[in-house]
Amino acid sequence: MTGAARADEILVGDVLALDHAGTRAEALAVAGGRVLAIGSRQAVLETRGPDTVVRDFPGCTLIPGFNDTHAHMDAIGARLVRPSLEGARSIAEVQDRIRALAQRTPKGEWIATMPVGTPPYYFDAPATLAEGRLPNRHELDAAAPDHPVYIPSPGGYWGEPPCHAALNSRALQLNGIDRHTRPTSPATVMETDAQGEPTGVFVEKGYVNLLEPDLLPAVPRFTYEQRRDGIVRAMALYHQAGTTSIYEGHGSAPDVIAAYRELRERGDLSMRTSLVVSPRWRSLEDAEAAMRDWSPLLRGRGIGDEWLRVSGFFIAHGGDPNVATVQAKDLLHVSWSGFTQQANVTERFEALCMLAGRHDLRVHTIVSDKLETVAPVITRLAQHFPIGKRRWVLEHISRATPEGLRAIREAGVPVTLIPGQYLWKHGTPFMNFAEDELDHLSPARQLHEMGVPVSAGTDAVPYNPLFCLWAMTTRKERRTGRVMGKGGLVSNEVGLRLLTRAGAYLSFEEDVKGQLVPGHYADIAVLAGDPLALQGDALLDLQCRATMVGGRWVHGVAA
């Protein structure tokens, strides 16, 4: 091979290319951050040069790195900032944790912790304490009389409603909360004692966190530096799970985008990242001005490079109108989520989408169980604009029908699904559906067989894509173990493709990412076993041994 390119590294193991031919090989070569060759061990070793490193991964399977197309990586980063109450099993133990924090916190400064309960979901948080409730204001006062104390709720999407929060007396006072306080949304409940005074405990019965933007303006917000540093910490966790690319279609607030940009500029971004703008407009006029001013940068593929790209806007459909009312109080508040909450009735949603279409901007929206309402809008939009070619994205589809899926196919728009959310975590609302309806819950199989560009994301519930693969291939609900529609089961191979190569289409990278073929990025996850051979719950035990992004090891192998 005189004059031929020489490999920087040669990786030996069971290579699963996930190309059109379904190629399996014994080794692959990496050069210049891309796949140089793939084939038999002997053939690939011919690319070895004097400085080539050869690594053997016996018993392991090398696959394209996972592309999490609904990752919320920055949200996981924000959850790593505040001190944990994990392991506290009584109010006394919570008080001990707060008391210890008070001892090292200057008087008068806020003590804001993580929620009560067991991470990562904090399901049934009050029940994890011996008293079956959160500490009240007086119990928190006893632990930290000289500090405002705030124990937040995780929120319904992170955990499961109802969710509980607690504040001490100083925290209530700083936020102006007294017996006359009334939350904007009926989904937020302020508990009171026999005299009508607030106990300091709040219950959020909805899925969206409304307590902070509605009633707690004095609670410290996450700083830019905390978000930036949280992203770095979360990025390491995602790499440990084999994730090499993320797509944040739910939208990112400006300071979150700025944090990613800083990491890219200083060379600390090792995750290929595609972002969508989470807008802060208040009216259609604001929206049109924003689209007009930003369309030169955000239209089409947007701006950026192979490591960080920003394109289009997230526009919400539906939602509790109280969400919009509360968010309007403080548009800068994005809490754990990292994006601005929206609520748009169908007519307003369509009007916003029409504006985006006129400005050649991509739209990303969450469908949830409203496909039958969204599908006609998408059909009408497709008559005006080439939304399929522009790669508008429908996300988070839960309930679906054959008619709604056909409308998606005819419009030519890609879809992202969150199997872990609707099949495992929040399957309860769908438990009484008929079996054929359950078959179309999170309809990965149907969309794949119809030829619709469909990918899967974790939604950070959890962020391990192998758990998402398990959810797609078993469709087990977490409380009962019930299979949520046998007609929706996908094969391991289809599920794996949806978690790796399929997501490249959303960021216009299908020609360079998602397959282990020559010329594609050397983004590789090294799994401890064969994800196509393991069945059922055995997938939950599969581990990622090492992860490479662009020819650089980011997990499992020393640099």
CA 204-91-173 angle, to 5 degrees, is 55
Which tens digits make up the pLDDT trace of 259-307? 999 999 999 999 999 999 999 998 999 999 999 999 999 999 999 999 9
* Cross-strand bridge partners of residue 368: 397
Alpha-carbon torsion 513, 516, 519, 524, what sign?
Answer: positive
Cβ atoms of 456 and 474 closer than 8 Å: no
* pTM confidence score: 0.96
Q: Which 3 state secondary structure label does DSSP give 68?
A: strand
- The CA R_g of the chain, rounded to the nearest whole Å, is 24
Sheet of strand 544-549: strand arrangement? 34-39, 24-31, 9-16, 53-64, 524-527, 544-549, 552-555
Distance CA 18, CA 56 (A): 20
What is the reported pLDDT for 35?
98
- Reference 88, options 80, 97, 76, 99; nearest CA is 97
**Per-residue DSSP letter, 84:** P
Distances in Å between the alpha carbon of 316 and those of 161, 249, 299, 459? 21, 11, 19, 16
Closest to 447 (Cα-Cα) out of 500, 394, 484: 394
Report the distance separating Cα 120 and Cα 111, nearest Å: 21
pLDDT tens, position by position, 187-235:
999 999 999 999 999 999 998 889 999 999 999 999 999 999 999 999 9
Average pLDDT over residues 168-183: 98
Residue 2: per-residue pLDDT: 47
Q: Which amino acid is at 25?
A: A
Rounded to an integer, the average pLDDT of 242-250 is 97
Q: pLDDT by residue (tens digit) across 444-453?
A: 999 999 999 9
The pLDDT value recorded for residue 1 is 45
Q: Which is nearest to 243 in space by CA: 552, 550, 547, 558?
A: 547
**What per-residue confidence (pLDDT) applies to 333?**
81
